[in-house]
Every structure is written in structure tokens, then in C-alpha cells.
Structure 1
Amino acid sequence: MCCLSQAWSNDLYKSVEHRVMTNGKVERYSIAYFLCPSYEFTIGSYRKPSRYRNFTFGEFRKQVQEDVKKIGYKVGLSRFLA
């Protein structure tokens, strides 16, 4: 299990909305610099009580895809509140 002490743990970390400013005169390159865990990887918090239930990365990805299909945007971690 991954313990996310500084990340998703009980809302200590809030990600920001991704925004890109484009420049019509210069070509833009994007390069991924991270890898996703396996879909079976369990994500949880070491802080107890946790506001979130443990979930796998696969569950998270599936929920994101369902949210985007149904409502047009990613809801995120609130889907995994305990």
C-alpha cells in the first residue's frame, strides 16, 4: 500500500487547475515526467482517521473515466471519501 503522507492525506494537498498559455509564434512541446502506478496498487493514508477510504489506482482511473463520460469533467478524490 502507498501511504500518501504529503499528498492526498486528509486534504493536506490540493492540486491546482492545470492551465497552459499558448504562443502562436512558437511550437509548444509537452513531456510527461512521471509514471502511473499499476492499476492494482492500493492508495491510502497513514493518518488515522482518514477522510478517504483505501482505493486502487485502477478504481481511481475508472471513476475518472466514468465522471468525464457522464458529467463532462473529473470529480477527483471526493468520490473516495470514507
Structure 2
Amino acid sequence: MNKKVSFGVRPSVTRTSELDAEAWVADRATDEREPMKRLTIDIPAHLHRAIKTQCASRGTKIADELRELLLQKYGKS
């Protein structure tokens, strides 16, 4: 018994232009010279919800808010 499997048309590759890539990099660029390190923490769901709600109402990102709080606590040195 042979089973036939048909495959659809191969999807075309959509290439982004170099300008799109440059714009993406420029949007992500920061003026910081020091490399970034990732920090992962566990927090209670209610605290995450409160932080996310406040950040959304201000139009900011959670990472930016927390980074600022950490800089206030531990300084820029």
C-alpha cells in the first residue's frame, strides 16, 4: 500500500531591503557603549500585572522602567 503525500507550492522568500534592515537596526540602537546583559527574575503575577498596567498607560516598556529603577538604586557606575 502506497500513500501519496502532496506538498503545496514552495513559499516564496520575501527579502527585506537593506533600507528596512538599516531602519530596524537604527531603531534598536542605543547610545550606551557598555554591552547589555540579560537578567531574569520571578515575580508574583499581581505585581507583574500592576507593572504592565502602569507601563501600558504611560506607553513605556517594562524593561525601560525596571532599568531606570535599577539605575536609581545602584547608580550609573
* TM-score, with structure 1 as normaliser: 0.26
The structure number with the bigger radius of gyration is: 2
Give the number of the structure with larger relative contact order, counting CA–CA contacts within 8 Å between residues 6 or more apart: 1
* Greater helix content: 2
Under a length normalisation based on structure 2, what TM-score does the superposition of the two structures give?
0.27
> Higher strand share goes to which structure?
1
